[in-house]
Amino acid sequence: MPGPSVQPAATGYRGRFAPSPTGPLHLGSLLAAFGGWLLARHAGGEWLVRIEDIDPPREVPGAAAAQLAALAAFGLAGDRPPAWQSRRHALYRAALDRLLAAGHAFACSCSRSALAAQGGIHRRCVAGVPRPHPAIRLRVADGATVAFEDGLQGTVGQDVAAEVGDFVLLRADGCWAYQLAVVVDDADQGITDVVRGADLLDSTPRQILLQRALGLPVPRYLHLPLLLDEDGHKLSKSSAAPPLDPADPLPALRACWSLLGQDPAHVRGCGDVDALLRQARARFDPALLPARLHFRRGDTTTA
């Protein structure tokens, strides 16, 4: 795979927001996007948008266009035209070929049911008959552990061999796995800082293993707290979280500003999106970001 085609911003900071087009954006999506945008602006860097459309069976027709329109309505269009993973297959293939040639990846015909006896963790192939179209997995060495310092969650470590095992890079159905695509894209786009929701915290050690195997730079990571519903479940498109209202963006932006630990008074008097974003950019204090959110009906508090 070629090196990054886009150099990092002059300030040394380039972030991104990368939704999958599986439904409309919701308040949890906005929390991640707004938090990432604020951190990029605070650092004097760039903030990009990437559409992660490499899983057609899960995608909703028209969702990507609706997501981009919603981001524009909330004043959070990226600093460059959006990137589309569906147009970047050649980069993923080049990276996979490098891993295969180096012996870091291998073909695997194991099904999920075949791996059930191993707790779903692949440590050796158990398939009796090779598939015509096997998956490709990263070879994770015995005892492979990864530790990193998250910008908000502190020190995070994982025994990838024991907890995850050899993980998929190319699915048997021909779809690229998220872990490979995101690592290749972050390097190719010169992303220096990955800001996203804490639901992806346990994906980070796998991505760092891939970055090492490919000889790519490891960006800084910061995982924002998840926005949960009254039952403690993550707000998500799959759980039918209420979509954002692009026609009335101010209430949701104010809510996210408060959820990010910032003083509500700083943006209370702003009458339009541009004014709110200017004030938020000037007043944002990353030291106030909460590591967790606690939800109560009718109220959200931080810790």
Of the residues 237, 267, 277, 284, only one is catalytic, namely 237
Q: Which tokens is 109 given?
A: 């015909």
Residue 18 assigned as binding residue:
yes
Q: How many helices (H) and strands (E) does the chain have?
A: 9, 12
Domain with CATH 3.40.50.620 in the chain: 14-87+186-206+213-302
Topology at the third CATH level for domain 89-170? Glutamyl-tRNA Synthetase; domain 3 (3.90.800)
- Judge whether 234 is annotated as a binding position: no
Please indicate if the annotation marks 17 as binding a ligand. Answer: yes
Could you confirm whether 237 is annotated as catalytic? Answer: yes
Question: Which fold would CATH assign to domain 14-87+186-206+213-302?
Answer: Rossmann fold (3.40.50)
31 touches 292 (CB < 8 A)? no
Query: Which of 121-130, 142-151, 205-214, 216-225 is least confident?
Result: 121-130
> Each residue of 95-106: pLDDT tens digit?
999 999 999 999
Tell me: is residue 19 an annotated ligand-binding position.
yes
User: How far from each other are the two terminal CA atoms of the chain, in whole angstroms?
Assistant: 42
The β-bridge relationship of strands 168-170 and 135-138 is antiparallel
Q: With 0-12 CB in 10 A as exposed, 13-18 as middle and 19+ as buried, what is 142?
A: exposed
Query: Which amino acid type is present at position 193?
Result: D
| Model confidence pLDDT, tens digit, residues 179-221 | 999 999 999 999 999 999 999 999 999 999 999 999 999 999 9
Strand order in the sheet with 105-108: 105-108, 135-138, 168-170
